[in-house]
Amino acid sequence: MKIISAVAAVALLSCSFCFQVKGALITGDITFDVGNVTFDSGLATATTVESWTNARVTGATGDFATFQVNPPGVTGDAVTLTAPWIFNPSTATNPLWVVDGFTFALASATIPPGGQPASGSFLNVSGTGTITGHGFNATPGVWSFSIPSSAGGSPFTFISDTVAVPEPSTWVAAALAVFGVAYSQRRRLSHALRRSA
């Protein structure tokens, strides 16, 4: 019994060294409206946003809502968007946008099938990146940009994706704990067999 307790204590101690203390991930979503967007060409062939004007927050939930300066129903907080922004081919852009102490670093952008029709009637771009701010851990997220025409009224949405993936240290700690219990059971069984023989 003392051996089992000692092995379990060592396994728990090794587990505690493997875990790292982490802050919270950002949750929620934030939506912007852009007054006017200027592209390098018409929507059917555009590859770059040359400028954005009058970008404002139109909706925020979760952690984003906590840091909004203007109350709901009032003209939204100003958003700073990087220009020029090359979206085709995808160009990492850090930061792509900044608002209320949050910063979004774009990792990649794609135009989904049908997202840039030859008619030039609309443009859809989506992608992935990381948002940081206010002491939260860097949080992976997905975003989308959709514009019905180059005149404006462009919704631009960020949604944080907080699916946690176990770190290697978590797997190592779990494996050590299972190994420790199995080893102690084997030793105990071996001792019992020797005594009965």
Q: What is the pLDDT of residues 45-86, one digit of tens each?
A: 999 999 988 888 888 888 888 887 776 556 788 889 999 999
User: Are 99 and 148 in a shared domain?
Assistant: yes
User: Are 190 and 98 in a shared domain?
Assistant: no
User: Are 9 and 97 in a shared domain?
Assistant: no
Q: List pLDDT tens digits, range 130-148.
A: 999 999 999 998 888 888 7
Average pLDDT, the chain: 73
Q: Could you tell me the residue range of the domain that residue 183 belongs to?
A: 2-20+168-196
Counted domains in the chain:
2
The pLDDT of 122-130, averaged and rounded, is 89
Q: Percent of the chain scored above 90 by pLDDT?
A: 29
Asked whether the predicted pLDDT for residue 4 surpasses 60, the reply is: no
SS3 state of residue 71: coil
User: Are 33 and 61 in a shared domain?
Assistant: yes
Asked whether the predicted pLDDT for residue 117 surpasses 50, the reply is: yes
User: Are 72 and 15 in a shared domain?
Assistant: no
Predicted TM-score (pTM) above 0.75? no
**Residues 50, 26 contacting (CB under 8 angstroms):** no
Q: Report the run of H or E that residue 6 belongs to, with start and end.
A: helix 2-18
Tokens for 5?
């307790």
User: Are 81 and 135 in a shared domain?
Assistant: yes
User: Are 76 and 8 in a shared domain?
Assistant: no
User: Are 173 and 134 in a shared domain?
Assistant: no
User: Are 94 and 115 in a shared domain?
Assistant: yes
Strands of the 102-110 sheet, one edge to the other: 56-60, 29-34, 154-160, 136-147, 123-133, 102-110, 93-99, 80-81
Q: Which residue has the higher pLDDT, 127 or 180?
A: 127
User: Are 54 and 147 in a shared domain?
Assistant: yes
